[in-house]
Amino acid sequence: MKQINEGESVLSVPDVSMPEDGVVFYNPAQALSRDMSILFYLATGVDVLDGMSASGARAIRLAKYGVPVVANDYSSEAIKLIEKNMAKNQVEFELMNTDLRRLLHSRRFGAVDIDPFGSPAPFVHCALQSAVKYIGLAATDTAALAGTYPRVSRRRYGFVSKKLPNHPEIGVRALASFVIREGAKLEIAARPVFAHIFQHYYRVYFEVKKGARRTDKLLDELGTYEGVGPIYMGNLWDKSIVSKMIKHMKKVELGHKLTEKHLLYISDELKFPQPYMDLHFLCKQLKRLCPTMDSLFGKIKGSRTHFSPTGFRTKLSKDEVLDILKTN
C-alpha cells in the first residue's frame, strides 16, 4: 500500500499501476474525472450513489464538500479500504457491499454514478430506474465506441460505427445515444448535460426526466453522422451547469493539473454544438501545410476543443472550412 494525496483527501491505495485480480484499483490519471464529478455534483446539488467506489476516492472527496453520498462496491476488499480511507479523512457515509444492479433495483438516489472497468452498458437500464435526477457514466471501452471494432459497437451499443477523424467525440455521442435509447424503453428522457474525455476514458452525465413526449423529442435528436449512427446530435453540455461548475472550482482543491484547462475549453466549445473537425486531417486532405490554431481563428469564428489538441469547433460546414483553408 502507499499513501497519496488527491485534492483535499489523503488516501491509502494499493501500489499497483494496472488493474489486477483481487486488488482494489486506484488510477491517479482519473483524478481529473473525479475533479469533474465533484464539480458536477456540487453544481447540481443532489445526493450521490458512488456505485463502483473501489478505494472510495470519489465518495470521500464528495463527502469532504458536504455532498450526501452512499458508496458501494461488490468487492469486500474495496469496502475495507473505503472504511480505512473514511477514517483517515474524518468523513462518514453509508457503505454498501453488493452487486450494483441489485442495489439499483431496490433503492433510488438523486444521482447514480457508474465507473466500471470497460463498458457501462450492463448497468444502464437499472441506473435509469434508480436515478431521480442524474446519471454519471464512464466508459473505458473506447475502441468499441470510437469505431475501431464495428462489430462490438453493433453488438454492445446497437450502432453502426467506423473510425472518423473526430472519433473521440463521435464515441461520446454514441454512448449518449445508447443511454437515450435505453431510457426511451422506460419513457425516461435521459438528456446529456455534461461530457468530457481524458485519455481512454469517456464520461457523460445525463439529466433524467419521465415522460413519453419528452422522450420522443429527445429521440428526434438522434441521427447519423458520416455513416455512423444512431448517435446523439444535440448539445453535450448544459451552459448553466458548466457555469456553476466553474464557480465551484474556486472552492474545490483540484486533484489534477489539467482539470481547470479542460473545463475552461468546455465552457468555450459548448457555444459550437456540431462535432469538432480535425485541422490536421483537413490539411492532409487538401495536401496543404496546416495553419496554426491562432491563424485559423483569425479567419473563422470558432473554439478549441478539449477532445483533441488538433481539433476545433465552428458553426461553419466542412466545405466552408475547406474553402477557407484553400485560400490560406
Ligand X SMILES: C[S@@+](CC[C@H](N)C(=O)[O-])C[C@H]1O[C@@H](n2cnc3c(N)ncnc32)[C@H](O)[C@@H]1O
**Number of shown-chain residues binding ligand X (CB under 6 A):** 21
- Give min distance, CB of 235 to ligand X, in A: 26
Using the minimum distance from each CB to ligand X, give the nearer residue, 120 or 302. Answer: 120
Angle at 315 between CA 311 and CA 317, to 5 degrees: 85
CB 116 to ligand X: min, Å: 6
Q: In what order do the strands lie in the sheet with 201-210?
A: 94-96, 69-72, 48-50, 109-114, 131-139, 201-210, 188-198
- Cβ-based nearer residue to ligand X, 30 or 130: 30
Minimum CB distance to ligand X smaller for 115 or for 169: 115
What residue spans of 27-149 are helical by DSSP H? 31-44, 57-64, 76-89, 100-106, 121-130, 142-145
- Bond from prior residue into 230 cis (ω within 30 degrees of 0): yes
Asked if 109 interacts with ligand X (CB under 6 A), we say no
Among 54, 86, 282, 296, binds ligand X (CB under 6 A): 54
Query: Hey, which residues between 169 and 228 contact ligand X (CB under 6 A)?
Result: none
Is 12 in a helix, a strand, or coil?
A: strand
Considering only 47-55, 205-213, 218-226, 273-281, which stretch makes contact with ligand X by CB under 6 A?
A: 47-55
> Among 57, 179, 190, 204, which residue sits at the site for ligand X (rule: CB under 6 A)?
57
For position 67 contacting ligand X by CB under 6 A, the verdict is no
C-beta closer to ligand X: residue 228 or 252: 252
The CA distance from 300 to 114, in Å, is: 39
**Of these, 44, 55, 119, 177, which contacts ligand X (CB under 6 A)?**
55
Helix (H, G, I), strand (E, B) or coil at 22: coil
Report the residue number whose CB is nearest to ligand X: 52
Min dist CB 73 to ligand X, Å, is 5
Task: Tell me 8's DSSP state.
Answer: T
Rounded to the nearest 10 degrees, the angle between the axes of helix 31-44 and helix 57-64 is 40
Stretch that binds ligand X, among 51-59, 213-221, 250-258, 299-307 (CB under 6 A): 51-59
**Alpha helices (runs of H) in 97-166, residue ranges in sequence order:** 100-106, 121-130, 142-145, 150-152
**Could you tell me if 96 and 76 are in contact, meaning their C-beta atoms sit under 8 angstroms apart?**
no
Instruction: Write the interaction track for ligand X spanning residues 10-39; mark x where CB under 6 A is met and - where it is not.
Output: --------------xxx---x---x-----
The residue within the footprint of ligand X, chosen from 9, 53, 119, 314 (CB under 6 A), is 53
Residues in contact with 180: Cβ distance below 8 Å, sequence separation at least 6, in sequence order = 189, 190, 191, 218, 219, 221, 222, 232
Rounded to whole angstroms, the Cα distance separating 179 from 137 reads: 10
When asked if residue 111 is in the footprint of ligand X (CB under 6 A), the reply is no
Q: Is 99 in the site for ligand X (CB under 6 A)?
A: yes
Question: From the CB of 37, what's the least distance to ligand X, in Å?
Answer: 8
110 contributes a contact to ligand X by CB under 6 A: no
CB of 109 to ligand X, least distance (A): 14
Grid cell in block for residue 88: 483517515
Residue 133 CA, distance from chain mean position? 16
Cβ nearer to ligand X, comparing 52 with 233: 52
Could you tell me if 269 and 305 are in contact, meaning their C-beta atoms sit under 8 angstroms apart? yes
Residue 244, helix vs strand vs coil: helix
Residues binding ligand X (CB under 6 A): 24-26, 30, 34, 52-55, 57-58, 72-75, 78, 99-100, 115-117
